[in-house]
């Protein structure tokens, strides 16, 4: 490793060649204040807060973009640098309307923290008090231009991380405004509400509606976990206070690199379905709450004499690994029942699996067939778009509308799949992304790329990879079944499936929420929610993803695997 010798604040440092002054300082444990800089984003030197004094340079230089060189001597807190920094901060406060006293971010705001650090007890320059728009046209978060410091972190997140390119600036100088598309309200724009901009905003310009005023960083707890709403397996940080989930943020160090999508970040927190908090047993016409012993006893009683083909059990492919293991032990092992998953595992396509987000990053040609990552595995879709920004080609094979189509270099009908495969064969590092709309014949054609391309399967359920490994497939039937056990987690069954399930004389539904299926069940068992579970699942790239409980489950709600283990004992 090539190194460079520099001196920061009198301290001799050997730094890696080619890094910026900011990086070199950080590695040496020297803190240079920053504002527009964000570790996950490219540096643009916009805010000038990181200005430092570099010997032999005519002016102060922004540490975040200034490359180091041999013999460089730097002062980060010299009177000149500090004065410049304070000036920058004062200008930032005066430019727009910062009312810390009622700002949601007060206490966690990076601008405010810097002002405190540099002892700004007042601001020299009066604000023009120009009225700015507060854009509340999006469901989950609000943009308040009054508090925007134009650091452009949001723009960089939108473009460089999510490749959505909704955000930009209009006008220049003092009139500069962050705007969406051709300056339309954010809610009418191409914004996909992934919330990555919200996560990187240093001030209260972007405000999460759900967690507003629910507590500052000092009040909350964070749990490193993973999103269970699709098979991408994004790392998350679940923010809670007193047993309430306030918001979900993306884990910067996980393969998703901080990015989440609307289905993982926001939608789960707005779930208004009614929770099941106690086992219930049908008595007369209604379901009545009973103890676990009574509920499990009732199931065991029915299970006796109904093993083998007379029993069937289906589990959601969202279930964690432990749950799937116990599920098979009880129903396949002990009862020899017919077992399967509620959702397809795409096992029947007999295609390779295991391609990762990193493969997408490295791809020069991406073939999407029979699925739409932007609809079902959004973070993967964003990653594909990012690869396109870097020059990869996109081939989309579909007979249906598909969110990837506007970005495709070439579009094919399913009948022209061969042609797409041929194009792909000519590339150096192809990636194939396939989904459940593929039929077996098409899958065989796609298999021609097996030796060459990395394959990513769009499993319809988050733990589809593991379910497939365990040999589980879907194919839901109540034919001749006397006892049917459905482990749904927070999933719901379509009406037709509920009808089919109800054909079984004895129906057990193990689920988190009330639904059509629990309404008709003979026994209902409560299941924990995504933020109450502990365990792991296997993401679409075969990676084991750990899920941690951020909040304890309500009293009386037990882990799925524990319930299945107790059931096994009573059989």
Partner 1 sequence: MQKITIEPVTRIEGHAKVTIHLNDQGKVERAFFHVNEWRGFEKFSEGRPFFEMTQITPRICGICPVSHHLASAKACDRVAGVEPPRTAKLLRELMHMGQFIQSHSMHFFELAGPDLLLGFDADPAIRNVVGIVQANPELALKAVRLRGFGQDIIKRLGGKRVHPVFAVPGGVNAPLSVKDRDAILSQLDEMTEVIKTGIAIGKQWYEANLDLVNQFAVFSSGYMGLVDEEGGLQLYDGKVRLVDKDGRKLEEFDAQDYLTYIGEHVEDWSYLKFPFYRKMGWPNGTYRVGPLGRLNAATKINTPMANEEFKNWKSINGGKPVEGTLWFHYARLIEDLYTIERVREILEDPDILSTDIVANSTGFVGQGVGCVEAPRGTLFHHYQTDANGMLTKVNLIVATGHNNWAMSKSVEMVAKAFVEGTKLTEGMLNRVEAAIRAHDPCLSCSTHAVGAMPIVIEMYGPDGALVHCLTRD
Partner 2 sequence: MAKVKVATDWLAACAGCHMSVLDMDERLVQLLDKIELTSTPITDLKHPPKEGVTVGILTGAISNTTNIEVAKQMRERCQILIALGDCAVFGGIVTMRNFFDMNEALKRAYVETEGTVDGQIPCSEELGRPVRVCAVNNIVKVDIHIPGCPPSPDAIYYALSELLEGRIPVLTGDNLKYD
Which positions touch partner 1 (CB under 8 A)? 101-102, 104, 134, 136-137, 142, 187, 207, 209, 212-215, 219, 241-244, 270, 272
Q: What is the DSSP letter of 80?
A: H
* Residue 115 site contact among partner 1, partner 2, none (CB < 5 to 8 Å, cut-off depends on kind): partner 2
Q: Does 112 bind partner 2 (CB under 8 A)?
A: yes
Taking CB under 8 A as the criterion, the residue among 10, 29, 79, 119 binding partner 2 is 119
What are the phi and psi torsion angles at 526 (to 5°)?
-75, 145
d(CA 133, CA 146): 7
Choices 101-109, 348-356, 389-397, 516-524; region in contact with partner 2 by CB under 8 A? 101-109
User: Which of 325/554 has CB closer to partner 1?
Assistant: 554
Partner that binds at residue 561, options partner 1, partner 2, none, CB closer than 5 to 8 Å by kind: none
The smaller minimum CB distance to partner 2, of residues 112 and 179, is found at 112
Does 79 bind partner 2 (CB under 8 A)? Our answer is no
What is the C-alpha separation between 261 and 373, in angstroms, rounded?
12
Pick one of partner 2, partner 1, none as the site partner of residue 243 (Cβ within 5 to 8 A by kind). partner 1
Cβ–Cβ under 8 Å, residues 13 and 6: yes
**Residue 219, binding choice from partner 2, partner 1, none, Cβ under 5 to 8 Å by partner class:** partner 1
With contact defined as beta carbons under 8 Å apart, do 308 and 434 qualify? no
Q: Which of partner 1, partner 2, none binds 244 (CB below 5-8 Å, type-dependent)?
A: partner 1
**Toward partner 1, which CB reaches closer, 212 or 565?**
212
Task: Count CB neighbours of 533 within 10 A.
Answer: 27
Q: How far apart are CA 549 and CA 325, in angstroms?
A: 19
Rounded Cα–Cα distance for residues 432 and 194 (Å): 24
> How deeply is 107 buried, as exposed, middle or buried, from its count of CB atoms within 10 A (0-12, 13-18, 19+)?
middle
CB nearer to partner 2: give 126 or 284. Answer: 126
Q: Which does 440 bind (CB under 5 to 8 A by kind): partner 2, partner 1, none?
A: none
Which DSSP state fits 253?
Answer: T
Choice from 103, 226, 230, 467 touching partner 2 (CB under 8 A): 103
Q: Which of 434, 441, 397 is nearest to 416 (CA)?
A: 397
Q: Which is nearer to partner 1, 218 or 428 (CB)?
A: 218
In the set 3, 127, 425, 570, which binds partner 2 (CB under 8 A)?
127
Q: Which does 241 bind (CB under 5 to 8 A by kind): partner 1, partner 2, none?
A: partner 1
Closest-CA residue to 266 (of 142, 144, 165, 164): 142
Shortest distance (Å) from residue 233 CB to partner 1: 27
Nearer to partner 2, 102 or 401 (CB): 102
Burial call 295-309: b when 16+ CB within 10 Å, e when fewer:
bbebbeebbeebbee
Of 121-129, 240-248, 284-292, 419-427, which part binds partner 2 (CB under 8 A)? 121-129
Of 32, 81, 115, 303, the residue at the interface with partner 2 (CB under 8 A) is 115
* Full DSSP string of 506-520: EEEEEESB--HHHHH
C-alpha span between 324 and 318 (Å, rounded): 9
Stretch in the footprint of partner 2 (CB under 8 A) among 100-108, 242-250, 256-264, 266-274? 100-108
Q: Give yes or no for residue 99 binding partner 2 (CB under 8 A).
A: yes
Q: Which residues of 220-232 are buried (b: 16+ CB within 10 A; e: fewer)?
A: beebebbbbbbbb
Burial class from Cβ neighbours inside 10 Å (0-12, 13-18, 19+) for residue 446 reads: buried
Count of residues that bind partner 2 according to CB under 8 A: 20
Binding partner of residue 407 among partner 2, partner 1, none, CB under 5 to 8 Å per kind?
none
Does 131 bind partner 2 (CB under 8 A)? Our answer is: yes
Alpha-carbon span 374 to 195, nearest angstrom: 15
First-to-last alpha carbon distance for the chain, in angstroms, is 63
Minimum CB–partner distance for residue 267 and partner 1 (Å): 13
Between 26 and 209, CB nearer to partner 1: 209
106 binds partner 2 (CB under 8 A): yes
Q: Of these partners, partner 2, partner 1, none, which one is at the site of residue 116 (CB under 5 to 8 Å by kind)?
A: partner 2
Nearest approach, Cβ of residue 273 and partner 1 (Å): 11
Task: Evaluate whether 561 touches 553 at the Cβ level (below 8 Å).
Answer: no
Least CB distance to partner 1 at residue 219 (A): 7
Instruction: Give the nearest distance from C-beta 116 to partner 2 in angstroms.
Output: 5
CB of 383 to partner 2, least distance (A): 39
* Binds 175: which of partner 2, partner 1, none (CB < 5-8 Å by kind): none
DSSP assignment string, 487-539: EEET----HHHHHHHHTSSEEEEEESB--HHHHH-SEEEE---TTT--EEEE-
CA angle 16, 17, 23 (to 5 degrees): 55
CA–CA gap between residue 396 and residue 404 (Å, rounded): 7
Q: List the one residue out of 234, 279, 281, 272 whose CA is nearest residue 253.
A: 234
Q: Least Å distance between CB 102 and partner 1?
A: 4
In angstroms, what is the minimal distance from the CB of 125 to partner 2? 11
- What is the smallest separation between the CB atom of 132 and partner 2, expressed in angstroms? 9
Bridge partner list, 553: none
Measure the CA–CA gap between 65 and 32, rounded to whole angstroms: 13
Two tokens at 107? 């206490």
**Stretch near partner 2 under the rule CB under 8 A, chosen from 108-116, 375-383, 425-433, 510-518:** 108-116
* Segment lying near partner 2 (by CB under 8 A), choices 97-105, 162-170, 308-316, 346-354: 97-105
Site membership for partner 2, residue 136 (CB under 8 A): no
Q: Does 122 bind partner 2 (CB under 8 A)?
A: yes
Task: Compose the 474-493 pattern: x for residues touching partner 2 by CB under 8 A, - for all others.
Answer: --------------------
Please tell me the total number of residues recorded for the chain in this structure.
571
Partners of 454 in beta bridges: 431
Provide, for the chain, the percentages of residues in helix, strand and coil under a 3-state DSSP scheme, each rounded to the nearest 5.
Answer: 30, 20, 45
- Can you give the binding site for partner 2, defined by CB under 8 A? 97, 99-103, 106-107, 112, 115-116, 119, 121-123, 126-127, 129-131
């Amino acid at each position: 490793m090539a190194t460079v010798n520099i001196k920061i604040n009198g301290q001799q440092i050997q730094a890696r060649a080619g890094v910026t002054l900011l990086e070199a300082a950080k590695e040496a444990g020297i803190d240079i204040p920053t504002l527009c800089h964000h570790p996950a984003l490219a540096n643009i030197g916009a805010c000038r807060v990181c200005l430092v004094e570099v010997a032999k340079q005519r002016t102060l230089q922004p540490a975040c973009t200034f490359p180091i060189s041999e013999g460089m001597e730097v002062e980060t807190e010299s009177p000149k640098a500090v004065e410049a920094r304070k000036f920058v901060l004062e200008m930032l406060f005066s430019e727009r309307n910062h009312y810390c006293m009622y700002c949601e971010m007060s206490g966690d705001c990076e601008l405010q923290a810097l002002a405190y650090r540099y002892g700004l007890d007042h601001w020299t320059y009066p604000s023009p008090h120009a009225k700015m728009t507060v854009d509340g046209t999006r469901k989950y978060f609000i943009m308040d231009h009054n508090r925007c410091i134009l650091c452009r972190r949001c723009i960089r997140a939108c473009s460089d991380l999510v490749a959505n390119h909704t955000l930009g600036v209009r006008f220049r100088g003092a009139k500069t405004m962050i705007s969406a598309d051709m300056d339309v309200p954010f809610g009418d724009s191409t914004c996909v509400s992934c919330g990555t901009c919200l996560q990187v905003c240093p001030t209260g310009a972007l405000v999460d509606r759900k967690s507003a005023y629910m507590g500052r960083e000092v009040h909350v707890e964070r749990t490193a976990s993973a999103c269970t709403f699709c098979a991408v397996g994004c790392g998350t940080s679940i923010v809670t206070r007193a047993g309430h989930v306030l918001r979900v943020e993306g884990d910067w160090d996980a393969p998703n690199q901080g990015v989440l999508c609307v289905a993982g970040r926001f939608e789960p927190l707005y779930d208004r379905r009614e929770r099941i908090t106690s086992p219930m047993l049908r008595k007369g016409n209604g379901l009545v709450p009973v103890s676990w012993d009574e509920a499990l006893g009732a199931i065991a009683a029915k299970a006796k004499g109904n093993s083998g083909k007379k029993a069937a059990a289906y589990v959601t492919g969202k279930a964690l690994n432990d749950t799937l293991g116990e599920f098979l032990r009880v129903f396949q092992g002990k009862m020899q029942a017919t077992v399967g998953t509620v959702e397809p595992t795409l096992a029947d396509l007999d295609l390779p699996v295991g391609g990762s987000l990193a493969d997408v990053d490295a791809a020069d040609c991406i073939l999407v067939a029979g699925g739409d990552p932007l609809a079902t595995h959004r973070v993967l879709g964003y990653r594909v778009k990012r690869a396109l920004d870097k020059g990869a080609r996109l081939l989309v094979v579909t007979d249906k509308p598909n969110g990837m189509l506007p970005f495709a270099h070439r579009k094919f009908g399913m009948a022209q799949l061969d042609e797409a495969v041929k194009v792909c064969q000519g590339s150096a590092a192809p990636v194939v992304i396939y989904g459940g709309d593929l039929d077996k014949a098409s899958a065989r054609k796609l298999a021609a790329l097996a030796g060459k391309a990395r394959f990513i399967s769009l499993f319809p359920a988050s733990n589809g990879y593991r379910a497939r490994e365990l040999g589980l497939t879907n194919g839901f039937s109540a034919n001749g079944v006397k006892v049917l056990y459905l482990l749904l987690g927070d999933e719901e069954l379509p009406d037709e499936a509920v009808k089919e399930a109800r054909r079984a004389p004895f129906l057990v539904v193990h689920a988190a929420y009330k639904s059509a299926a629990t309404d008709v069940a003979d026994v209902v068992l409560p299941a924990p929610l995504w933020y109450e579970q502990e365990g792991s699942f296997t993401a679409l790239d075969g990676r084991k993803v750990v899920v941690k409980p951020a909040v304890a489950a309500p009293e009386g709600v037990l882990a799925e695997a524990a319930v299945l283990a107790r059931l096994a004992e009573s059989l």
